[in-house]
């Protein structure tokens, strides 16, 4: 019966929930019932021990009539006996392998029984309306196969029966049948009729349920928990009465939680927490279950839509929490499950079966196919490594398991809510000898990573979702009006009440980026936005309207600009939902591999391409794929003032010496501007035919993919000509290139997971497609309509981003410097990303991402840097109400969870299996009030 239908029938019950008005006191029948219970218990125990065959025990619901309250008292008396550990020899477990106490089973249930305003699920289903108010609870129909083996073997399911027989009526409401298949919704009226017909013998079989419980713990592995039961004493009982099955059935623990309290409906807080724990033993699984349930009479279909749903798989259970994201900072909604290791392989959150090899990554040092970025950037490796092992000043205060007591403080910086540690290191910037090459805009990370928290801007609110955010954002989220005043006439950004609006203009396209993009396509159809030109680099992006409107053509743009060169331009871009980072073309290479971008764009980007031997344009040449296009629209292209004419001649000579072909030079009568489009060569013929080797060719030992803290070199790399080398061919057109194995990924190369590289690539793609489709999109309680900016902190092949292809999101794929360098593969697929070391701060503004994904990252970082500052950095770049998904070993997951809780984050779900854990947490609006003291 759907939730709202249950509530409708509940409201027919006039009785209160628990002790109070509307309830009858226990009758004297309780003493007789106790005696009957003991006799029945002894008979059942003797019968089961004497039997040598599989025995099917059927438990059916009983009619809750006028004797229901008397039997509730009988249950209460029986609990006193149940508290004594019971040994079940029938299953062959040595030493009484299963022990269950009422405290273990009912700790959560006792809490929910205190609300006098709660209604009975089964009260309306009684045969006699006059006695409906007296019913303390309603048991659902259950059929459980309990087995005994005279030889001491593990219990098995009776032959011919389904492996997943522990089914309550709530499993239908969650869309699951007994076999784990999706069930069609049933007619609630028919279910009421069936319940009335079946409600005939519940009182007598209550004792059978308790007797059965003494054997369930040895055969456990699956427990369906009915959280719709209510009463002053029945919650603990219902948890005990839930039977379990043998682990050999492959079943997990399907949990159904409904927790809506009258006092909490308005805030949409989840009021319950379930836990089931399963050992890794192949033969015995002990399941301890406790649940809370409180249903408000005023619920409707909207509340039902937010109901908790359990997804069962062959290897265990994945439980999804309420999708509500408006919980208060001081209250968490958590679901924790430790699924069984048995089963025959349905898709699930944690890798299993054929995907287990994804956890067994080969050592980067032993993997010759993919060297690490740190190795490629060897000229910076020693200095970088020495700076990474410095720890936070607060390391002694916070460790594993102690983060909950940490005393958080706000960062004390001049940049306040816009603080980027590696770009706002004022002490390091003051020590610079020169700013001639924009050294002050480059990364200068502090020796110790910060462990303070960045404050929120006053009046901050949840960002406007995409695609509306492209046109307007909340002013108080990025309260900077200087750019609107300075660039207002060029239609960059305008202030409009409580919003900042973005007409889509730019310095070179005042009448809108859409018109400008179309003009480029008309001038050179070869550009083929979104097909041939999929991954674009926008240099000096402004507020990134160019990249924002290229989304309409299925082209993905990496936008970057220096921080504060134009006030908050990159922050505006990120708030709008457009990819962007704070970076500058100064003295070091940009953190991207060579031969990566299909096109590079510069609209009045103010980069002095022509000076110092064209060093900056040669960096663009390194990044541009052979055959890629360079679009330049700037005043030297069309203005005739002496300075512009001089720059144009210098650029024309430089591009010719670089063997770039001028494909098109055109003007725009609408914006009164012009542009020129160059093409990088696809062979070395022109290089070899040059009269003067200027700019020079790079040395053979110079790795064009080395980009982490590598100084710019005024040279060009030769074009790959071997058909088996990356860059010798243009990738397949988008979107075919997304799933296609790169042609240069040969089988003789070893992949990240130790298999031949093409097989590794395919396995990674299949794995993330299953995880995202079967779990992430529906199983984590995430409202994906509010997700736009996504970061994968450790992307490997980009499988996670590829699996989100049909979502209205973009993913920043990060390849860490100590991981195999797979970033070129990500670009080959038509995705993008960058190199980074997570022992340092990321080059993005605070509150940039809606979702951050970390797959086996944090455990790898712990050998090089303290974990606490890394989580603090995630807190900095994650938006309030944003989600962090962590997949790692259990020790690391628990450590991250502890720190997250100390940050007042909401633990949405925690799942574990065989030492692996998955955690989903949601950042809240909480910020500390104390500000750190500067030393």
Q: Note the pLDDT of residue 648.
A: 97
Preceding peptide of 137 cis, ω within 30° = no
β-bridge mates for residue 255, sequence order: 225
**Residue 884: closest CA among 844, 920, 925, 841:** 920
Alpha-carbon distance of 686 to 680, in angstroms, equals 11
Place of tokens 């029986």: 78
Q: What are the φ and ψ backbone dihedral angles of 494, each rounded to 5 degrees?
A: -135, 150
β-bridge mates for residue 182, sequence order: 176
pLDDT along the chain (935 residues), means of 10: 37 39 44 70 71 41 42 45 40 38 40 41 40 38 35 37 36 34 37 41 41 40 38 39 38 36 36 37 37 36 33 37 39 36 39 43 54 73 44 38 70 96 96 94 95 97 97 95 74 90 86 93 97 97 94 97 85 97 96 98 94 97 98 95 96 98 94 95 97 94 95 95 93 97 94 94 96 91 96 98 97 97 98 98 97 97 95 98 97 97 96 93 97 85
Alpha-carbon distance of 584 to 437, in angstroms, equals 10
Helix (H) or strand (E) holding 237: helix 234-241
CB contact at 8 A, 566 and 587: no
SS3 144: strand
Tokens of 429: 């910037």
Helix (H) or strand (E) holding 799: helix 799-803
Tokens of 702: 């110079």
**Residue 364: closest CA among 724, 743, 866, 750:** 750
Q: Note the pLDDT of residue 779.
A: 85
Using only C-alpha atoms, what is the Rg of the chain? Answer: 32
**Residue 678: closest CA among 657, 695, 655, 694:** 655
SS3 633: strand
Q: Note the pLDDT of residue 922.
A: 98
Preceding peptide of 383 cis, ω within 30° = no
Please give the span between the terminal C-alpha atoms of the chain, in angstroms, as a whole number: 63
Alpha-carbon distance of 142 to 369, in angstroms, equals 56
Q: Which residues of 76-91 are buried (b: 16+ CB within 10 A; e: fewer)?
A: bbbbeebeeebbbbbb
**Residue 153: closest CA among 220, 92, 87, 214:** 92
| Whole-number Cα distances in Å, 228 to 23, 169, 195, 299, 390 | 19, 10, 15, 14, 53
SS3 739: helix
Alpha-carbon distance of 616 to 219, in angstroms, equals 69
Q: Which residues of 777-814 are buried (b: 16+ CB within 10 A; e: fewer)?
A: ebbbbbebebbbbbbbbbbbbbbbbbbbeebebbbbbb
Cβ-proximal residues to 611 (8 Å cutoff; 6+ apart), any chain: none
| 3-state SS record for 391-413 | CCCCCCCCCCCCHHHCCCCECCC
Quote the Cα angle for 624-630-631, to 5°.
Answer: 150
Tokens of 837: 């070391």
- Beta-carbon count within 10 A of 67 CB: 18
CB contact at 8 A, 872 and 452: yes
Q: Note the pLDDT of residue 728.
A: 95
CB contact at 8 A, 72 and 136: yes
Q: Note the pLDDT of residue 378.
A: 64
| Whole-number Cα distances in Å, 485 to 493, 510, 793 | 9, 15, 36
Q: Note the pLDDT of residue 491.
A: 77
Q: Note the pLDDT of residue 368.
A: 53
Place of tokens 């024309």: 652
């Amino acid at each position: 019966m759907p939730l709202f239908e249950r509530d409708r029938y509940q409201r027919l019950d006039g009785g209160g929930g628990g002790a109070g008005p509307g309830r009858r006191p226990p009758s004297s029948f309780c003493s007789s019932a106790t005696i009957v219970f003991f006799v029945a218990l002894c008979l059942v125990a003797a019968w089961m021990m004497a039997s040598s065959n599989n025995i099917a025990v059927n438990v059916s619901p009983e009619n809750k009539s006028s004797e229901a309250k008397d039997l509730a008292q009988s249950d209460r008396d029986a609990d006193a006996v149940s508290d004594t550990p019971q040994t079940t020899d029938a299953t062959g477990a040595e030493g009484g392998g299963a022990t269950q106490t009422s405290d273990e089973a009912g700790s959560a249930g006792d809490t929910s029984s205190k609300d006098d305003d709660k209604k009975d699920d089964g009260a309306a289903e009684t045969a006699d309306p006059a006695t409906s108010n007296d019913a303390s609870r309603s048991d659902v129909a259950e059929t459980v196969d309990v087995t005994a083996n005279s030889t001491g073997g593990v219990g098995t399911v009776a032959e011919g029966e389904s492996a997943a027989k522990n089914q309550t009526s709530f499993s239908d409401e969650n869309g699951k049948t007994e076999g784990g298949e999706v069930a069609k919704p049933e007619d609630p009226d028919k279910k009421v009729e069936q319940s009335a017909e079946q409600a005939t013998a519940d009182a007598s079989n209550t004792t059978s349920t308790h007797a059965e419980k003494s054997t369930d713990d040895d055969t456990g592995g699956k427990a369906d928990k009915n959280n719709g039961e209510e009463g002053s004493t029945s919650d603990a009982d219902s948890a005990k009465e839930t039977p379990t099955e043998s682990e050999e059935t492959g079943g997990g623990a399907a949990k159904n939680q409904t927790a809506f309290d009258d006092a909490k409906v308005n805030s949409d807080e989840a009021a319950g927490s379930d836990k089931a724990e399963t050992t890794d033993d192949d033969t015995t699984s002990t399941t301890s279950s406790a649940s809370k349930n409180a249903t408000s009479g005023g619920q409707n279909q909207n509340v039902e839509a937010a109901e908790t749903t359990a997804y069962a798989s062959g290897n265990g259970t994945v439980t999804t929490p309420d999708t509500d994201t408006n919980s208060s900072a001081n209250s968490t909604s958590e679901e924790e499950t430790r699924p069984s290791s048995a089963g025959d392989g349905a898709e699930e959150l944690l890798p299993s079966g054929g995907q287990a090899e994804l956890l067994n990554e080969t050592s980067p040092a032993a993997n010759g196919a993919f060297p690490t970025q740190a190795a490629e950037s060897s000229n910076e490796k020693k200095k970088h490594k020495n700076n990474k092992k410095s720890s936070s000043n607060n390391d002694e205060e916070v460790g594993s398991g102690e983060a909950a007591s940490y005393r958080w403080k706000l960062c004390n910086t001049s940049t306040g809510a816009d603080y980027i540690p590696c770009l706002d290191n004022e002490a390091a910037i003051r020590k610079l000898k020169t700013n001639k090459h924009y050294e002050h805009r480059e990364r200068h990370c502090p020796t110790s990573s910060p462990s303070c928290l960045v404050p929120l801007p006053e009046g901050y609110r949840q960002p406007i979702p995409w695609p509306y955010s492209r046109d307007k954002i909340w002013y108080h989220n990025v309260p900077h009006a200087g750019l609107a005043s300075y660039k207002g006439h060029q239609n960059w950004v305008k202030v409009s009440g409580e919003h900042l609006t973005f007409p889509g203009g730019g310095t070179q396209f005042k009448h809108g980026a859409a018109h400008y993009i179309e003009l480029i396509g008309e001038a050179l159809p070869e550009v083929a936005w979104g097909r041939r030109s999929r991954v674009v680099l926008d240099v000096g992006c402004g507020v990134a309207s160019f990249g924002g409107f290229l989304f309409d053509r299925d082209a993905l743009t990496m936008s970057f600009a220096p921080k504060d060169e134009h006030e908050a331009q990159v922050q505006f871009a990120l708030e709008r939902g457009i990819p962007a980072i704070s970076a500058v073309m100064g003295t070091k290479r940009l953190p991207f591999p060579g031969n990566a971008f299909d096109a590079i764009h510069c609209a009045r980007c103010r980069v002095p391409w022509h000076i110092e031997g064209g060093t900056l344009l040669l960096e663009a040449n390194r990044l541009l794929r052979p055959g890629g296009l360079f679009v330049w629209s700037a005043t030297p292209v069309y203005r005739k003032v002496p300075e512009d004419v001089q720059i144009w001649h210098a650029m024309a000579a430089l591009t010719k010496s670089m063997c770039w072909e001028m494909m098109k030079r055109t003007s725009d009568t609408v914006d009164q501007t012009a542009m020129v489009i160059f093409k990088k060569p696809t062979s070395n013929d022109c290089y070899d035919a040059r009269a003067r080797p200027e700019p020079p060719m790079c040395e053979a030992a110079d790795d064009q993919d080395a980009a982490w803290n590598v100084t710019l070199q005024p040279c060009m790399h030769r074009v790959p000509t071997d058909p088996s080398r990356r860059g010798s061919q243009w990738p397949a057109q988008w979107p075919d290139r997304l799933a296609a194995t790169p042609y240069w990924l040969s089988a003789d190369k070893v992949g990240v997971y130790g298999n031949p590289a093409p097989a590794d690539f395919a396995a990674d793609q299949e794995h993330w497609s299953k995880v995202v489709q079967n779990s992430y999109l529906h199983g984590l309680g995430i409202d994906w309509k509010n997700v736009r900016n996504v970061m994968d902190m450790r992307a490997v092949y980009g499988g996670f981003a590829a699996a989100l292809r049909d979502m209205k999101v973009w993913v920043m794929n990060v390849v860490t410097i100590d991981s195999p360098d797979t970033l070129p593969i990500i670009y080959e697929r038509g995705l993008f990303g960058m190199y980074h070391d997570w022992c340092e701060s990321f080059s993005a503004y605070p509150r940039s991402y809606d979702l951050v994904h970390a797959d086996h990252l944090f455990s790898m970082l712990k050998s090089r840097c303290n974990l606490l500052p890394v989580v603090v950095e995630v807190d900095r770049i994650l938006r309030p109400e944003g989600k962090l998904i962590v997949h790692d070993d259990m020790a690391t997951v628990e450590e991250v969870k502890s720190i997250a809780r100390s940050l007042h984050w909401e633990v949405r779900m925690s799942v574990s299996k065989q030492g692996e854990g998955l955690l989903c947490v949601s950042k809240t609006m909480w910020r500390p009030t104390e500000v750190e003291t500067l030393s």
